[in-house]
């Protein structure tokens, strides 16, 4: 047992638990935040991705101990932001959501990318989301969505 403190979607949280537990399980079980999904459990698919200090990170590979004193944003928190509104409208319009299991992670990957590079080329977008697998869309519409969000959301990132 260990006491771990971190910011979760803008609120400070303190929990006492086994520090080797996966962040993904803690988010889903202890905080009932189920927008982060488990696709592979081994860091390959990005369905479990969250933002750790603003960077896209797979929560299935993250022991809770490593988030001590750091800041985590999940899709539930991000969904309340103006940036999400821009991204989600672009995703819906482009047709970038099929089964949706990859989508929360994909949107957070887009945020992480646009945060570093507000005007990416298509090739940079493809690299930026290459840690997130999508089996449904073939990625084309996701790339278009992120490109259009970057344009529409000018100044937001």
Partner 1 sequence: MHKDISQSIHKLDAHARMQGKAQYVGDIDIKGMLHAITLRSPIAKGIIKAIHYPPLPSGYTIIDYRDIPGKNFVKMIFEDWKIFAEDTVEHIGEPIALIVGEDKRVLYDIHDKIICDIQPLEPLFSYQKSVIDYQFTKGNPDPVFKQAKKIIKETYETGYQEQAYIEPQGFIGYPETAEKVTLIGSVQCLYYVKNAVVSALDTHPDNVRVIQAAVGGAFGGKEEYPSLIACQLAIAIRKTQKPIKLIFEREEDMSVTTKRHPSKTTMEAAIDADNNIVGIRAKVALDGGAYIGLSGVVLSRALIAVTNAYTIKHLAVSGDVFKTNTVPNGAFRGFGAPQMIFAIEMFMHHLAKQLNQDPYSFRMQYLAKQGDQTSTSGLFRDPIIMPKMIQKATEMAQFHDKVKAYKTMPNRGIGMSYFLHGCGFTGSGESTHINAQVKLRKDDHDHVYILVAAVDMGQGAKTTLIKIVSHTLEIPIEQVHFDYPDTDDVPDSGPTVASRTAMIVGGLVNQAALEMKSLWQSKTPLEVIKRYKQPEWIVWDEKTFQGDAYPAYSWGVNIVEVEVSPITYQVNIIGIWSVYDVGKALDETIVLGQADGGTAQGVAYGYLEVMVHEQGQLKQKNMTDYIIPTAVDMAPTQTHLYDNPFALGPYGAKGAGELTLVGGAPAVAMAIEMAIKKPIKKIPATPEYIMELMHDDDH
Contact partner, 94, from partner 1, ligand FES, none, Cβ < 5-8 Å per class? partner 1
Catalog residues that contact ligand FES under the rule CB under 6 A: 38-41, 43-48, 58, 60, 97-103, 134-137
**Per-position b or e across 51-60, b if 16+ CB within 10 A of its CB:** bbeeebbbbb
CA dihedral 41, 39, 139, 80 (to 10 degrees): -100
- State yes or no: residue 63 binds partner 1 (CB under 8 A): no
CB 116 within 8 A of CB 124: no
- Exactly one of 55, 70, 135, 151 binds partner 1 (CB under 8 A); that residue is 135
Gap between the Cα atoms of 148 and 29, Å rounded: 35
Q: Rounded to 5 degrees, what angle do the CA atoms 64, 43, 29 make?
A: 40
Contact partner, 48, from ligand FES, partner 1, none, Cβ < 5-8 Å per class? ligand FES
Q: Which is nearer to partner 1, 2 or 99 (CB)?
A: 99
**Footprint on this chain of partner 1 (rule: CB under 8 A):** 28, 33-42, 44-45, 47, 74-76, 79, 88, 91-95, 97-104, 107, 122, 125-127, 129-143
């Amino acid at each position: 047992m260990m006491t771990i403190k971190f910011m979760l979607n803008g609120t400070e949280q303190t929990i006492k638990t086994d520090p080797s537990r996966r962040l993904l399980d803690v988010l889903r079980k202890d905080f009932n935040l189920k927008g982060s999904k488990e696709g592979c459990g081994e860091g390959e698919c990005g369905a479990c991705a969250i933002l750790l200090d603003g960077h896209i990170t797979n929560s299935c590979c993250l022991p809770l101990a490593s988030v001590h004193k750091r800041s985590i944003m999940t899709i539930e928190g991000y969904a309340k932001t103006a940036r999400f509104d821009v991204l989600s409208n672009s995703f819906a319009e482009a047709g970038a959501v099929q089964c949706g299991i990859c989508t929360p992670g994909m949107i957070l990957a887009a945020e992480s990318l646009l945060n570093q590079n507000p005007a990416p080329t298509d090739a940079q977008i493809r690299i930026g989301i290459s840690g997130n697998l999508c089996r449904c869309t073939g990625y084309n519409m996701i790339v278009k969505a992120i490109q259009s969000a970057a344009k529409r959301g000018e100044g937001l990132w």
